[in-house]
Amino acid sequence: MAITTLNNRSINRSDTASADQVWTATSATASDFQAASSGKLLQFVNQEEQTAFSTTSSSAVDSGVNVSITPTASDSKILLTTNFTARTAGNTYSSFYIYRQIDGGGYSELERLEGGWHYYIDEDTSTSFVGKKVDTTHNTTNQIDYKIYCHVQGGGSTLSLLPDGTNELGNFSAMEIGA
């Protein structure tokens, strides 16, 4: 009679699974029912912003557009999306970035936003800026704070976000997606 070895992970629970759970390895020697979260949205946080912000700085500064999320898993991905109106004076080139702070440890640049490099905005037109990034390196279940930083890249003088203040609405969203 053949002896079949299923695997080297011990079955350490005898209860039944909940809906949408799968049996999976939880360590090198153990297994358990776990949420089948891969690729699924685990949580969604949206932060609205209506405060006007203007800068003439040529180095990245905090725009005030921010969102915070506390991941449920350290290996999850955080999809960040943002949209807000922007306007410049004097046909200014502008750059936008996402800065990240983990567990209150201080902000540092995570990445430049797509479309944020030499983003050209006409001086007479408010443009809707849309950016998106996926944070795959947070490696934490502590609170993560994200902020939009920006600066004038050249060409003109002033970059304004949500220039008409309370008449406009910007959003910065964080979505935790299972690994």
Q: Indicate the length of the chain as a whole number.
A: 179
CB nearer another protein, residue 7 or residue 166? 166
Beta strands 10-11; 30-35: pairing state = parallel
Phi-psi region of 58 (alpha: psi -120 to 50; beta: other; left: phi over 0): alpha
Number of residues forming the site for another protein (CB under 8 A): 17
Widest CA span of the chain, in angstroms?
Answer: 84
Binding mask 41-80 for another protein (x = CB under 8 A): ----------xxxxxxxxx-xx-x----------------
Phi-psi region of 34 (alpha: psi -120 to 50; beta: other; left: phi over 0): beta
CB nearer another protein, residue 83 or residue 158? 158
Rounded Cα gap, residues 113 and 172, in angstroms: 13
Which H or E element spans position 121?
none
Shortest Å, Cβ 95 to another protein: 14
CB nearer another protein, residue 158 or residue 171? 158
Residues 65, 163 contacting (CB under 8 angstroms)? no
Binding mask 74-113 for another protein (x = CB under 8 A): ---------------x------------------------
CB nearer another protein, residue 58 or residue 137? 58
Shortest Å, Cβ 162 to another protein: 9
Residue numbers of the site for another protein (CB under 8 A)? Answer: 51-59, 61-62, 64, 89, 157-158, 160, 165
